[in-house]
Structure 1
Amino acid sequence: MESAKILIVDDEPDILDFLKYNLLKEGFEVYTAPNGEEGIKTAEQERPDLIILDIMMPKMDGVEVCRQLRSRPGFERTLITFLTAREEDYSQIAALEVGGDDYITKPIRPRVFISRIKALLRRSERTVEEESPNTVQVGDLLIDRDRVSVTKGDVVIELAKKEFELLYLLVSKPGKVFSREEIFNKVWGTDVIVGNRTIDVHIRKLREKIGDHYIKTIKGIGYKFEF
Structure 2
Amino acid sequence: MNDYRILVVDDEEDLCEILKFNLENEGYLVDTANSAEEALKLDIGAYSLLLLDVMMGEISGFKMANMIKKNKKTAHIPIIFITAKDTENDTVTGFNLGADDYISKPFSLREVIARIKAVLRRTATIETEQVPERIIHESLVLDITKKKVSIEDKEISLTKKEFEILFLLLQNKGRVFSREDILGKIWSDEVYVLDRTIDVNITRLRKKIGIYGKKIVTRLGYGYCFEAE
Q: CA deviation at 1:154?
A: 4.5
Q: CA deviation at 1:73?
A: 4.8
Alignment of 1:12-23 (within 5 A): 12-23=12-23
Give the match for residue 88 of structure 1.
87
Give the match for residue 113 of structure 1.
112
Give the match for residue 37 of structure 1.
37
CA distance in 1, matches of 2:37, 2:109: 27
Report if aligned partners of 1:134, 1:144 keep a CA contact under 8 Å in 2: yes
Report if aligned partners of 2:78, 2:100 keep a CA contact under 8 Å in 1: yes
Give the match for residue 5 of structure 1.
5
Q: Which amino acid aligns with 1:225?
A: F
Q: CA deviation at 1:61?
A: 0.9
Give the match for residue 219 of structure 1.
220
Q: CA deviation at 1:116?
A: 0.5
Give the match for residue 196 of structure 1.
194
Task: State TM-score, norm by structure 1.
Answer: 0.88
Report if aligned partners of 1:97, 1:205 keep a CA contact under 8 Å in 2: no
CA distance in 2, matches of 1:98, 1:7: 18
* Structure 2 stretches lacking a partner, 5+ long: none
* Other structure's SS at 2:40 match: helix
Report if aligned partners of 1:92, 1:103 keep a CA contact under 8 Å in 2: yes
Report if aligned partners of 1:93, 1:201 keep a CA contact under 8 Å in 2: no
Report if aligned partners of 1:97, 1:160 keep a CA contact under 8 Å in 2: no
Report if aligned partners of 1:152, 1:210 keep a CA contact under 8 Å in 2: yes
CA distance in 2, matches of 1:22, 1:33: 16
Between the two proteins, the alignment pairs up a number of residues equal to 225
Please provide the CA RMSD for this pair. 2.2
Q: CA deviation at 1:14?
A: 3.0
Report if aligned partners of 2:92, 2:194 keep a CA contact under 8 Å in 1: no
CA distance in 2, matches of 1:73, 1:158: 7
Q: CA deviation at 1:122?
A: 1.0
Report if aligned partners of 1:81, 1:102 keep a CA contact under 8 Å in 2: yes
